[in-house]
Structure 1
Amino acid sequence: MATSHPRARRRRPQVGLLAVQWAAILVGSLFLIVGVLGFVPGVTSNLDALAMSGTGSRAALFDVFQVSILDNLVHLAVGVVGLVLATSFARARAYLGVGGLLYLGLWVYGLLIDLAGPANVLPINDADNWLHFGVGVTMVLLALTLAGTRVPTGAGGEVLVPPE
């Protein structure tokens, strides 16, 4: 009969990422893709009119969403942050929740400013504005609904790793 040594460490079963972490990876990856596509000719129309920032940029992603170099860099940064913060439950949830609130704030900002004025530094058009609303709501909902538990469960709801 083999007995374990009292100082032997118990190995926890390997468990994959939690749903909220996968959501952060997905959202971060989408932001990275959008950031890169903002520099791709054909996907972004009027790429030769891409400006650093502001309404002077006449480039449009998918011929709909007005973009600038600053806008594309922000998308790339938000994507990288999402991938980095997906490494833990708490960080992934914070990324989705805080990021969603920031995008909802950007939506309100877009509603309040003159889209043709100097305050529009990203730049934002009506399509961008409503996309920010959708992204913000989606990220907040993902943070709230996917982060209900830190305990991984199987398809039948059985606990895969007992809480400590």
Structure 2
Amino acid sequence: MTAASAPRDEARAERPARGVHQYLALVIGIVYLLVGVVGFAITGFDEWTVHDHSQTLLVFAINPLHNVVHLLIGLLGVLLWSRSASARTYGWILAIGYGAAFVYGLIVVDDPEANVLNINGADNVLHAASAAAGLLIALWPARRATGRTTPAARAGA
């Protein structure tokens, strides 16, 4: 090992391994980010709160406002996944936000005046699943310390 590579190796050894909950946050973030971008290709940028179930992405009803929500949720996932604590925060945001969206959707699904996000039954199922995924991310068990030491620590460096 050269002197120049020693600080890099020590920094790599000190960085904790990423957990499943972090990668789940990243994947969910990327998916929602893509859904938001593709959603605008379908809805365009007019009539932000239109209630039009013919505007769908697969079976999910969308409108421009709904696309913005997807973009924000996706961006948060991409920004917060890299640290365990921030990934857990993202999990709570998903659980609470999509839990609330699920309840809201149950109330407004048949009320075009109140349904500003153009939510349909398929959206409600996805929102419930996203809330459950958020709980999974937030409550994923923490990694236990293995007690292993790095070669530098064993050498007394």
| TM superposition score category, shorter chain reference | 0.7 to 0.9
Aligned partner letter, 2:134: M
Task: Write the letter of the residue equivalent to 2:48.
Answer: M
Distance 1:126 1:80, change over 3 A: same
1:102 and 2:61 are equivalent in the alignment:
no
Task: Tell me how far apart the structure 2 counterparts of residues 137 and 80 of structure 1 sit (CA, whole Å).
Answer: 19
- TM (normalized to structure 2)? 0.75
Q: Which residue of 2 aligns with 1:93?
A: 88
Change in 2 beyond 3 A, CA 1:143/1:161: farther
What is the match of residue 49 of structure 2? 53
Q: Which of 136, 141, 144 is 1:141 aligned to?
A: 136
After TM superposition, the structure 1 stretch with the greater mean CA deviation from structure 2, 28-37 or 49-58, is 49-58
| Cα distance change on mapping 1:160 and 1:18 into 2, 3 Å | farther
**Structure 1 pair 127/160, CA: closer, same or farther in 2 (3 Å)?**
farther
- TM-score w.r.t. length of structure 1: 0.72
Gaps of 5+ in 2: 1-9, 151-157
Percent identity over the alignment? 32
2:66 matched to which residue of 1? 71
The residue type equivalent to 2:19 in the other structure is: L
Q: Contact conserved, 1:100 with 1:135, CA < 8 A, in 2?
A: yes
Please give the alpha-carbon distance, in whole angstroms, between the structure 2 residues aligned to 1:107 and 1:141. Answer: 17
- Distance in 1 (CA, whole Å) between partners of 2:149 and 2:93 is 28
Q: Tell whether the 8 Å contact from 1:151 to 1:161 is kept in structure 2 after alignment.
A: no
Distance 2:32 2:128 in 1: 15
Partner of 1:6: none
Contact 2:109 2:121 in 1 (8 A): no
Unmatched 5+ stretches in structure 1:
1-10, 153-157
Could you say which residue in structure 1 is the equivalent of 2:5? Answer: none
Aligned counterparts of 2:147 and 2:105: Cα–Cα separation in 1: 44
Per-residue CA distance 1:51-99 (angstroms, 9 max, x = gap): 311314741111x211111111110111111111113211110111231
Contact 2:98 2:130 in 1 (8 A): yes
Report how many residues are paired.
Answer: 141
Deviation larger for 105-114 or 48-57: 48-57
Q: Pick one of 90, 114, 120 that aligns with 1:119.
A: 114
**Which SS does the other structure have where 2:113 is aligned?**
coil
**Structure 1 CA distance, aligned partners of 2:20 and 2:127?**
23
